[in-house]
Amino acid sequence: MGLTQDNSLPIPPAGSLNPAGSLNAVDWVVGWARANSLWPLVFGTSCCAIEMMATGASHHDWARFGLEVARASPRQADLIILAGTIVEKMGSRLVTLYEQMPGPKYVIAMGACTISGGPFYYDSYSVIKGADRIVPIDVYIPGCPPRPEALLYGIMQLQALIRKGAWRKSLTHQPLNTSPIRDVYSDCSKAWEIKEKAKQESMKEAQERFKAENPDFKGVVIKRVAAPKFDEVARVPKPARGMPPAEIFSALQARFPAVAVHGNADVTQEKWAALGPEYVLDLAVSREDYHGVVEFLRNEPALKLDFLIEITAVDWKDHFDVIVHLQSLDHGHKVFLRCNLPHETHPEIPTLMDLFASANWHERETYDFFGIIFVGHPDLRRLFLDDDFPGHPLRKDFEDPTRVVKRPY
Ligand code: SF4
């Protein structure tokens, strides 16, 4: 029930004014005013947030429903629209924001991720499997992502609840979701398999019965139109930039004889040619040579690999590879470099922070996810996960009790 056509306050229909003896005329007017002046807090975390922004922008314009500018402070807001994936590290911050909002306050859960964890329900160590496990939700809007029309409809549903008198209770009596996390997918696929088997058996019976009753039936011959054949389009190789990999390698080997090309122990002239013009040099270095090799690649004027693209790692179950990706901004050539580390709880490798300031966050990320210690890093602490997160989630031996489906290794 909003404004009437002439913008005046509509008269509540008889019977709705005081349905349970608890709603008087003043309550009704306050509820009406409150429902039409919601102040949302900015809380968009991923793709759903784009739809939420579109809902606030000129085409859909949620201001038509009394929602005005999204607030940056919980003290000036009474509605959180949770739009996007909510991860564990965000969880405590979300609860703090919710608690800092003055009541009466409301929460809308927009999209599959917020409602249940969405596509991250099954194999994620960090996504909260439903925002209603940490804050009470008043309206759920399904979809991935829901369109702006759906969000507007959800807002209208919330307004209807507030007008009905729920503004008194803030709707916060909604209980938190404490239901156990279940593997619904596997249950469904097992049930589906049984149904499919029964269907196939009954089809087979029906086919055999039909054949017995119609022995002369020849069936229908379906003539398929031949698929058109298209000419092969020759791939145009990217023009080579910078120094060829063979030259970079021989410059490096003159200084570090133990360095090898990954996957090509004895690389010959023919092998270099077979690797093709788009091959990026992939080096295997020992832990002892690791820092010296990167320093040489950066400082040698002919190489000048002075841009650190990335530091990351791979867990191969029996060992780790720390991967460094470098580029020369002047010359254009690139180099991958991998260093084999033993599969220990906290394998160690020297930091590259004295060579590249940008190594700081890359090394923290690699520590966070794999537990690899970068010796000499001035501030090696977790980057994405909470300080008390148990373990390092990208290690193959990481056990996550909340994971619904186990990885097949
Ligand atoms: S529900 Fe879909 S669109 Fe929304 S945040 Fe999740 S993945 Fe993105």
pLDDT value of residue 17: 47
Does the structure show a pLDDT above 70 at 88?
A: yes
**Mean pLDDT of the 70-81 span:** 92
- Taking residue 379's Cβ as centre, other Cβ atoms within 10 Å add up to 8
- Assess contact for 174 and 131: CB atoms under 8 A: no
Q: Is residue 340 part of a domain?
A: yes
Residue 111 Cβ < 6 Å to ligand 1: yes
Give the max Cα distance, the chain: 93
- C-alpha 325/C-alpha 312 separation (Å) is 9
39: nearest Cα among 93, 8, 100, 81: 81
Which of 48, 90, 124 most suits a substitution to test ligand 1, by most atoms within 8 Å of the C-beta? 48
Question: How far is it, in rounded angstroms, from Cα 104 to Cα 37?
Answer: 12
**Distance (Å, rounded) from C-alpha 159 to C-alpha 169?**
14
104 domain residue, yes or no: yes
Query: Which amino acid is it at 269?
Result: Q
Residue whose CA lies nearest to ligand 1 atom number 3: 145
Q: Distances from the Cα of 212 to the Cαs of 200, 208, 221, 269, 279, in angstroms?
A: 18, 6, 20, 70, 64
Residue 107's DSSP bridge partners are 80
On whether both 273 and 148 belong to a single domain, the answer is no
* Domain membership flag for residue 7: no
Q: Could you identify the atom of ligand 1 that is nearest to the CA of residue 143?
A: 1
Mutate to test the pocket of ligand 1, among 47, 116, 120 (most ligand atoms within 8 A of CB): 47
Ligand 1 neighbour 84 (Cβ under 6 A)? yes
Confidence label for 81 from pLDDT (cuts 50, 70 and 90): very high
Residues 373, 394: Cα–Cα separation, whole Å: 15
Answer whether residue 106 is part of any domain. yes
CA of 7 to the centre of ligand 1 (A): 37
Residue 115 confidence (pLDDT)? 96
Q: Which mutation among 81, 90, 122, 144 tests ligand 1's pocket best, with the greatest number of atoms within 8 A of CB? A: 144
Domain co-membership, 362 together with 273: yes
Q: Which residues of 120-150 are buried (b: 16+ CB within 10 A; e: fewer)?
A: bbbebbbbbbbbbbbbbbbbbbebebbebeb
The answer to whether residue 177 is domain-embedded is no
Residues sharing a CB contact under 8 Å with residue 146, sequence separation 6 or more, in sequence order: 48, 51, 110, 111, 154
* pLDDT at res. 174: 74
- Whether residue 232 lies inside any domain: the answer is no
CATH number at residue 62: 3.40.50.12280
Domain boundary among 121, 136, 168: 168
Domain count, the chain: 2
pLDDT in tens, 33-68: 889 999 999 899 999 999 999 999 999 999 999 988
Q: What is the C-alpha separation between 373 and 367, in angstroms, rounded?
A: 6
Percentage of residues in the chain having pLDDT higher than 90? 65
What is the Å distance from ligand 1's center to 343 Cα?
36
Best of 46, 115, 140 for a ligand 1 pocket test (most atoms within 8 Å of beta carbon) = 46
Q: Which of 126, 148, 168 is where one domain is finished?
A: 168
Query: Could you tell me if the CB of 113 is within 6 A of ligand 1?
Result: yes
pLDDT digits (tens, 9 = 90+) for 346-384: 999 999 999 999 999 999 999 999 999 999 999 999 999
Ligand 1 proximity of 47 Cβ (cutoff 6 Å): yes
Looking at residue 405, its pLDDT comes to: 63
* pLDDT for 72 beyond 50: yes
147 and 249 both lie in a single domain: no
- State the residue range of the domain holding 93: 25-168
- 250 and 339 belong to one structural domain: yes
How far is the centre of ligand 1, averaged over its atoms, from the C-alpha of 154 (Å)?
A: 17
137-188 pLDDT, tens digit each: 999 999 999 999 999 999 999 999 888 865 555 555 678 888 888 877 788 8
Per-residue confidence (pLDDT) for residue 240, from 0 to 100: 77
Q: Are residues 162 and 249 in the same domain?
A: no
- Residues 6 or more apart whose CB falls under 8 angstroms from that of 241 comprise 331, 332, 333
Amino acid at 178: T
Phi, psi of 319 (to 5 degrees): -160, 165
User: Which residue did the predictor score with more confidence, 69 or 404?
Assistant: 69
Q: How many Å lie between the centroid of ligand 1 and the Cα of residue 83?
A: 8
Q: Check if 117 has its Cβ closer than 6 Å to any atom of ligand 1.
A: no
| Residue 139 sits in the same domain as residue 249 | no
Is the distance from the beta carbon of residue 87 to the nearest atom of ligand 1 less than 6 Å?
no
Cβ(294)–Cβ(352) under 8 Å?
Answer: yes
Q: How far apart are CA 272 and CA 196, in angstroms?
A: 53
Half-sphere exposure of 312 (CA within 13 A, CB side): 8
Residue 390 Cβ inside 6 Å of ligand 1? The answer reads no
281-285 vs 260-261, strand pairing mode? antiparallel
Answer with the one of 140, 168, 196 that is the final residue of a domain: 168
pTM for this prediction: 0.74
Same domain, 142 and 48: yes
Q: Return the pLDDT at 131.
A: 94
Q: Are residues 162 and 35 in the same domain?
A: yes
140 phi, psi to nearest 5 deg: -105, 135
Atom of ligand 1 nearest to the CA of 47: 8
Determine the distance separating the centroid of ligand 1 and the alpha carbon of 153, expressed in angstroms: 18
15, pLDDT greater than 50: no
Residue 405 lies in a domain: no
**How far is ligand 1, taken at its centre, from the CA of residue 338, in Å?**
35
9 lies in a domain?
no
Expressed in angstroms and rounded, the spacing between residue 392 Cα and the centre of ligand 1 is 25
Question: What's the CATH code of the domain at 361?
Answer: 3.30.460.80
